[in-house]
Structure 1
């Protein structure tokens, strides 16, 4: 049966590559490779964004966080879903109206500065890398449980990392944005199908959410820790009421008051600065289509994360009783509690569907990884290939040369992320974090929300924003976030350390303040009115402005012509 599950997984991976190859752009155009010709429909783009956004942190990490920390794990689901509200209100429509290829390209054009573009490229690459690594970690964890053995002398975990990275790198380099868009949309539908099937199976067995929360809350919350060479259960500390026991259905199992607020703000602010998500809005045909796409994404995200929370709770309630009937769970649990929280959905899949069920859920997890890696690699390719190579290294590059530069960037970043993922041991980090995958992705959100989002939103909505202010804001947010991260890893995740590990609540206001102050003392772009109209004007306004420029140009040519 394991062989059958692996064959299903391999067949799916081959099908994903074939779809990407079949619908890849037939001509070497950067517009097609990076933006799918800007002709992606609302529903298709919404599904593709969901496929891009619902990463291993969403598919495995949210359920794992709920499983290991109870109510506090729901903050991940809340923050991930709510992050699209500011995108809907402040970003989607003006970003698409302005156009361009990427966040650095947008900032560079809007502020008429190559220095801003280069600074944003560095920030984008750091965000992409910090987001890629946990996806590769998730693929290794999934392969380890599904297959259980490696290839060519590699460990099962390393094999999963290498296979997932290789497959999706091939897809992106061959199919570009057009191929990736359709595969991501299909992959999201498969992700949702996996969640729906498992939810139906769990509810059909008699599971009731409210009753399950009451049952698992009857005893203090405890999770496995590895000490003295042995695994044992250890009660979680109550972060809200020290000295008291913490229960599954109460807040405080993982975060104190400051930590809960900081986590939500980090996830909400971070979404608008994620390059692989924001780049997707450039593929919409109009600003209105971009806004409607976000409305669809909000609805789909609400459904997806509600199911993730329910299934994380189901795993906590159902696996302990099942451990006594299924010997294979002994290898994964300590007194009925999973050692690796990311195994929660995978274990439920095997309980209710046997090896085929495990294969289905594992396939969904790898799909989540592959889909997100694809979007991240494309964002990296656009940043290096278009913003650096095409504009500055080789301004006279042909379209084919520019596309190949992007493909080279894909290969480089993919190899680096895989190497970093291979250096990690997820089981050794489980005691430190509720979900290593979700936590690592949160760091990417924190960096994006600190370095890019404040400057991004100010650039869209504040006329006085300048290039010097943007550079200062990005650098301030990035340095503050990195400094707080480094301090937090030393201080731990208790008390002030909670905020240090989710620094956006401090770094974002500081970055915005610095950007505003510097902008007030420096000069705005020379073509501010035209740029502002491009961002916020109606279609009629933009047509009138173009007609006026053409008229003025024609009159100037008339007066400068030969005199009779």
Structure 2
């Protein structure tokens, strides 16, 4: 098993690195390195965004959340997919029309403030780090099951974290946005093929989704819990809505009460529009219309992907108990037929239906999901440090080559930091507390983005009165509120309130928006606001007319100066 899986994974990594080498920027242009020259087509960009967005939380985490908590896990799929609706309606086209390099660059130019840009850089880096860590955790979990041993004295988990992070760091540093775009598009197609194959295999074995949900809902939902002595036993989940009856697979309440469900959906929807690695991709589209059409494609692909993830999570819960009775290798992974680590659900199904090759295929898909998302996050981080900080403030006279190398250095530093944090975590110690450690940790990144960036981001795009001091105050307010609520949620015992505290966007985002509006009322808007607003929302004809008017005024002024 190990040999076949490792050979397949190594071959895949070689293909990915080969694409990066072939498509690496030929010149030392920051436009090519960060934005692929703004020449990425609609379908290619849509596939690349999907590869960027469908992280370990999507590939492993959504199915794991459904596996461990039934209907409550479907909220993840719903929120992840629906997050692109506000992006389509409010963000994609204006953002591309304005046409900068990153979210901090956009906010800094729109509000004509370096302080806004630097504040946004800090928030963006915090979001990126909180998103990178669960990706690295997902790679460690996958390596642990796929290979089972470490390298150079490291544990299998730590080895998976380090190997995947090192490989994708090399890809990003070499290929920049152009190489990363094509590898992410290819990686998404591999992910989709893995889901389709596993779905066909499950249905072919007799699995039927409605019947499985009905059967699973006939008995209380149980999940493994470890005692202090290291012994595992099944524990019945209590319904958090009524607080009395046991939870079931097909009814809400296994993990979230009514307030928690609503807070989770709002967090995921709001968070998508503030994710730096996703929003940066819209700067690579050639036009605003192309950016909007890209989002339409993403919505369709996301709907298909998450529908399959929900189906497979249910299939795993239904089919794995029977498979555990037939396969001795599953004894270490299960307690009475229920997986100890929910993220193993798809990996185990892959081995059940495809043997060593099936496990290798699904494990490769999981690592691809991790690496593809890490690539986008590292590029977003590089754009913030290399372009928004190094070029703008540290070395304003830097050559294009120096700026690109600054971005590559930022890629390496952020990758090392995220890997170090992930190695220090032990997923098995958190499994009993969270429906899916990967999906839950990514939700925290969504919450931070939706609390600190999205309200300011949307107000800056759609409300002319937004000012630089207000944007700074709003971002800081949203970030501090979200972090404070996180901290309280980890220690507060009440289930309902704790759920809301751990998904704080429902409180932090409105507070950030209100603070931004109030401060804007007492501060001054940027100079040349009409020109900036036209750049955001004007039609092509409007912009053409403005250019002609400027040329006419310039010509008249020149002639008047030349007149005797």
Q: Shorter-chain TM-score: which interval?
A: over 0.9
1:365 and 1:493 map into 2 onto residues whose CA distance is 34
In the alignment, is residue 298 of structure 1 matched against residue 299 of structure 2? yes
Bigger mean CA deviation after superposition, 549-558 or 194-203? 549-558
1:408-487 equivalence runs, <5 A: 408-487=409-488
**Alpha-carbon shift at residue 245 of structure 1 (Å):** 1.3
Any conservation in 2 of the 1:95–1:281 contact (CA below 8 Å)? yes
* Aligned residue in 1 for 2:177: 177
SS of structure 2 residue aligned to 1:225: strand
Decide whether aligned partners of structure 1 residues 192 and 532 sit closer, same or farther in structure 2, where only a CA change above 3 A counts. same
SS of structure 2 residue aligned to 1:234: strand
SS of structure 1 residue aligned to 2:226: strand
Bigger mean CA deviation after superposition, 43-52 or 223-232? 223-232
**Alpha-carbon shift at residue 395 of structure 1 (Å):** 0.7
**Alpha-carbon shift at residue 551 of structure 1 (Å):** 2.1
2:26 and 2:400 map into 1 onto residues whose CA distance is 13
2:344 and 2:493 map into 1 onto residues whose CA distance is 25
* Aligned residue in 1 for 2:366: 365
Decide whether aligned partners of structure 1 residues 407 and 48 sit closer, same or farther in structure 2, where only a CA change above 3 A counts. same
SS of structure 1 residue aligned to 2:331: helix
In the alignment, is residue 240 of structure 1 matched against residue 212 of structure 2? no
Any conservation in 2 of the 1:177–1:378 contact (CA below 8 Å)? yes
SS of structure 2 residue aligned to 1:264: helix
Any conservation in 2 of the 1:450–1:503 contact (CA below 8 Å)? yes
* Aligned residue in 1 for 2:50: 50
Bigger mean CA deviation after superposition, 210-219 or 89-98? 210-219
**Alpha-carbon shift at residue 492 of structure 1 (Å):** 4.4
Note the alpha carbon deviations across 1:482-515, whole angstroms, 9 max, x for none.
1100111111471211110000000000000000
1:459-538 equivalence runs, <5 A: 459-492=460-493, 494-538=495-539
Decide whether aligned partners of structure 1 residues 493 and 430 sit closer, same or farther in structure 2, where only a CA change above 3 A counts. farther
Any conservation in 2 of the 1:217–1:248 contact (CA below 8 Å)? yes
**Alpha-carbon shift at residue 195 of structure 1 (Å):** 0.2
* Aligned residue in 2 for 1:186: 186
* Aligned residue in 2 for 1:560: 561
* Aligned residue in 2 for 1:374: 375
1:83-232 equivalence runs, <5 A: 83-229=83-229, 230-232=231-233
2:24 and 2:42 map into 1 onto residues whose CA distance is 20
5+ residue gaps, structure 2, are none
5+ residue gaps, structure 1, are none
Note the alpha carbon deviations across 1:139-177, whole angstroms, 9 max, x for none.
000000000011111110000000000000000000000
**Alpha-carbon shift at residue 62 of structure 1 (Å):** 0.0
Decide whether aligned partners of structure 1 residues 492 and 38 sit closer, same or farther in structure 2, where only a CA change above 3 A counts. farther
**Alpha-carbon shift at residue 80 of structure 1 (Å):** 0.1
1:502 and 1:560 map into 2 onto residues whose CA distance is 63
1:176 and 1:555 map into 2 onto residues whose CA distance is 45
RMSD (CA atoms): 0.8
* Aligned residue in 2 for 1:275: 276
Matched length: 563
Note the alpha carbon deviations across 1:327-368, whole angstroms, 9 max, x for none.
111010001000000000000000000010000000000000
**Alpha-carbon shift at residue 550 of structure 1 (Å):** 2.2
2:206 and 2:216 map into 1 onto residues whose CA distance is 16
* Aligned residue in 2 for 1:547: 548
**Alpha-carbon shift at residue 215 of structure 1 (Å):** 1.4
Note the alpha carbon deviations across 1:445-474, whole angstroms, 9 max, x for none.
000000000000000000101101111110
Bigger mean CA deviation after superposition, 12-21 or 260-269? 12-21
2:493 and 2:71 map into 1 onto residues whose CA distance is 21
**Alpha-carbon shift at residue 557 of structure 1 (Å):** 2.8
SS of structure 2 residue aligned to 1:112: coil
**Alpha-carbon shift at residue 228 of structure 1 (Å):** 3.1
**Alpha-carbon shift at residue 237 of structure 1 (Å):** 1.3
2:8 and 2:355 map into 1 onto residues whose CA distance is 14
2:381 and 2:525 map into 1 onto residues whose CA distance is 29
Decide whether aligned partners of structure 1 residues 158 and 493 sit closer, same or farther in structure 2, where only a CA change above 3 A counts. farther
1:13 and 1:314 map into 2 onto residues whose CA distance is 30
SS of structure 2 residue aligned to 1:40: coil
Bigger mean CA deviation after superposition, 486-495 or 315-324? 486-495
2:467 and 2:492 map into 1 onto residues whose CA distance is 37
Note the alpha carbon deviations across 1:69-111, whole angstroms, 9 max, x for none.
0000000000000000000000000000010000000000001
1:557 and 1:513 map into 2 onto residues whose CA distance is 47
SS of structure 1 residue aligned to 2:70: helix
Bigger mean CA deviation after superposition, 223-232 or 349-358? 223-232
1:32 and 1:246 map into 2 onto residues whose CA distance is 52
Bigger mean CA deviation after superposition, 231-240 or 542-551? 542-551
**Alpha-carbon shift at residue 560 of structure 1 (Å):** 3.2
SS of structure 1 residue aligned to 2:233: strand
* Aligned residue in 1 for 2:356: 355
1:554 and 1:500 map into 2 onto residues whose CA distance is 60
1:309-388 equivalence runs, <5 A: 309-388=310-389
1:174 and 1:304 map into 2 onto residues whose CA distance is 30
1:495 and 1:304 map into 2 onto residues whose CA distance is 30
1:290 and 1:435 map into 2 onto residues whose CA distance is 32
2:356 and 2:242 map into 1 onto residues whose CA distance is 43
Any conservation in 2 of the 1:130–1:444 contact (CA below 8 Å)? yes
Any conservation in 2 of the 1:492–1:498 contact (CA below 8 Å)? no
**Alpha-carbon shift at residue 24 of structure 1 (Å):** 1.1
